[in-house]
Amino acid sequence: MQAITCSAPGKIYLFGEHAVVYGESAICCAVDLRTRVQASSNDTILISSDQGDTGLDHDRYPYISSVIEEMSKMTDIKGVKLRIDSDIPVGSGLGSSAAVTIATIQALNLLFGCNLGPEDIATLGHSIERKIQGAASPTDTYVSTMGGVVIVPVKKKLNIIDCGIVIGNTGKFSSTRQMVSDVALLKKRYPEMIDPILSTIGRISMTGEELVIKQEYRPIGELMNINQGLLDAISVSGPELADLIYAARSAGAYGAKITGAGGGGCMIALSQLPDMEKVASAITRAGGEAIVTRITEHGVRVEH
């Protein structure tokens, strides 16, 4: 029996969420939390994970089922067995849907010899996310495919940030679509105030790019804190996120801010490697689920 395991990473926003919706720059980083998909030849379609076993099932496994359907247009997939394992909490802004989509595309690509290259994989992944979510930015699927630190919309890869990333999950549900539409409403009501905030966030990403290249982590942390202040100004923070952010800063993080849509979901703290556990404990004491990780250059890959 032929079998292959592929994995793809989740992501965080170092700078620029929300402003990126209006064409401003953002810096997004793949993190070392991965979703693994083992694909093996089988007579029928079988998808299995901790959520149970099923055939093609758009309710339980919308992304995987859509990948199988889309790739059946390129090659004859009579059957396949897929086993999914993931480190990425679902629906918390860390790119879990992009990671499972990209890892599944690559596993089927290699098992069935479809000859898709990285750009094809990212494009197909984005079209599947868009179909399922209604609207989706190409960032998550691009970063999950390519890995590393990427400035968007230009999609230029920067060097790796060799620091600790401590994620704090509030566990509070938040809808990206709702948060994006709330910001749009605020922008419509107060354009003369909100537009400069969004362009300042874009400028933070541009300045941040230089600092990432020079590996100047303390000022990167300062810019994260300024970015957080501006995200608060456009009403996408909240008490749960703020508690975790201030706890992480007090524990010695270089900087801390929301990652992704806000309103709930996750925050991130950039920290010196020896301080990671201290920052994680502070986040836990403040009521969050702390996840200690690193930025990774590895996008989608085969696992041996």
Catalytic residues: 140
**Residue at token pair 């979510």:** 133
In 3D space, the residue among 69, 70, 71, 103 whose CA is nearest the CA of residue 86 turns out to be 103
Rounded to a whole number of angstroms, the minimum distance from the CB of residue 10 to ligand PMV is 9
Pick 255 or 260: Cβ nearer ligand PMV:
260
283-302 residues in contact with ligand PMV (CB under 6 A) are none
The sign of the CA dihedral 247, 250, 253, 257 is positive
**Does 260 contact ligand PMV by CB under 6 A?**
yes
What lies within 8 Å, CB to CB, of 143 at 6+ separation is 9, 11, 28, 29, 30, 95, 98, 150, 299
Q: Own/partner pairs for 155-160, CB < 8 Å, 24+ apart? A: 158/27, 158/209, 158/212, 158/213, 159/212, 159/213, 159/215, 160/295, 160/296, 160/297
**Does 39 contact ligand PMV by CB under 6 A?**
no
Using omega within 30 degrees of 0 as the cis cutoff, is the peptide bond preceding 196 cis?
Answer: no
**Does 255 contact ligand PMV by CB under 6 A?**
no
The residue from 35, 104, 137, 141 that contacts ligand PMV (CB under 6 A) is 137
Residue nearest to ligand PMV (CB): 260
**Does 138 contact ligand PMV by CB under 6 A?**
no
**Residue at token pair 């990333």:** 165
Rounded to a whole number of angstroms, the minimum distance from the CB of residue 286 to ligand PMV is 21
**Does 20 contact ligand PMV by CB under 6 A?**
yes
Pick 160 or 180: Cβ nearer ligand PMV:
180
Pick 73 or 188: Cβ nearer ligand PMV:
188
| Terminal-to-terminal C-alpha distance of the chain | 16
**Does 261 contact ligand PMV by CB under 6 A?**
yes
Rounded to a whole number of angstroms, the minimum distance from the CB of residue 54 to ligand PMV is 26
**Does 24 contact ligand PMV by CB under 6 A?**
no
User: SS3 for 82-115, per residue?
Assistant: EEEEECCCCCCCCCHHHHHHHHHHHHHHHHHCCC
**Does 18 contact ligand PMV by CB under 6 A?**
yes
**Does 220 contact ligand PMV by CB under 6 A?**
no
3-state SS, residue 226: helix
Query: Using CB under 6 A, which of the segments 156-164, 186-194, 260-268, 280-288 binds ligand PMV?
Result: 260-268
**Does 9 contact ligand PMV by CB under 6 A?**
no
Rounded to a whole number of angstroms, the minimum distance from the CB of residue 226 to ligand PMV is 17
**Does 93 contact ligand PMV by CB under 6 A?**
yes
Are 15 and 33 in contact by the 8 Å Cβ rule? The answer is no
In 3D space, the residue among 175, 209, 215, 271 whose CA is nearest the CA of residue 26 turns out to be 209
DSSP assignment letter at 288: P
Interface with ligand PMV (CB under 6 A): 17-18, 20-21, 93, 95, 137, 139, 176, 180, 260-261, 265
